[in-house]
Amino acid sequence: MGKYYPAERLKNRHTSAEKLILLMPMIVVCLAACLTSSYFTIDAYNWWYIVLFPGMNAIVCGTVGNSDKKMKNQTILTLPADMGAVWDGKVLYGIRCMGISLAVLLSVTLMISTILKQVWQIVFHIDPAVGEQVFAVVVLFMTSLWQIPFCMLLMQVIGRFPMILLHVGSIFLISVTMSLKPYFMLLPGGIATRLMCIILKILPNGLIAKPGSVSFTPELMDWKGVPVGILVSLVWFAVFWIVGRKQFERQVQL
């Protein structure tokens, strides 16, 4: 695996994936600052993990997975390579991209929130502490790991553009309509959204998680859901990694 991950980095060095992981988090933060300055922090995160983050992950995975597939995998079939290890390298590269995008989101959000508060004297209606934002990003990372092998698996089965549409659409639907249900743990696309209610006090609809807000219930704020949600997400990650690995090995050798 160790030699295939650097190979994926070199292969994708000048692709759209390397640009998107920097541009997309900066764009969503700037939009939140311009459009909803008094709700800047919560809107930046809410818009990110419900729509743009899944979209970015899908596009990155489509780029990484398609680099060999468009040449019918001839570039790797000619090598004395373990196809399972090639898959692992692709997944690790996707995870790297995801981690960088979240680090950019956190850094730019903290920087712009400081400017808005100290220079423009804007008072936020809700202002999560730095520690809460760091913790939220760490949780987002762990509860979103499953998206990388899932998107790559889906791309192998149905193709790049159908995968992007299905992934983004399903996560948006699950986040908005099902993440607040008791069975949210069965739907990996809703776990991150549900845990952000607890950590950042944001409901899926963008409202503050407090009594009186539409769809708020006291049960949503139970901190016991955080470790359970992380654990379940990691189980989903392992399942999609293993299933995707086996599917990749079969498809490449056809």
In this predicted model, what pLDDT tens digit does every residue of 193-244 receive, in sequence order?
A: 999 999 999 999 888 998 988 889 888 899 999 999 999 999 999 999 999 9
* Mean pLDDT of all residues in 16-25: 90
Rg (CA), the chain: 19
Q: So what's the pLDDT on residue 76?
A: 58
* pLDDT for the residue numbered 70: 58
Assess contact for 33 and 116: CB atoms under 8 A.
yes
- pLDDT band per the 50, 70, 90 thresholds, residue 73: low
- Which pLDDT score is estimated for 183? 84
Residue of 83, 86, 112, 109 whose CA lies nearest to 6: 86
Q: Give the range of the structural domain holding residue 246, as residue numbers without chain letter.
A: 4-252
What is the tally of structural domains in the chain? 1
What's the pTM? 0.93
- Position 81 scores a pLDDT of 66
Q: What's the confidence (pLDDT) of residue 80?
A: 56
- 28-67, pLDDT tens digit by residue? 999 999 998 889 999 999 999 999 999 999 999 998 877 6
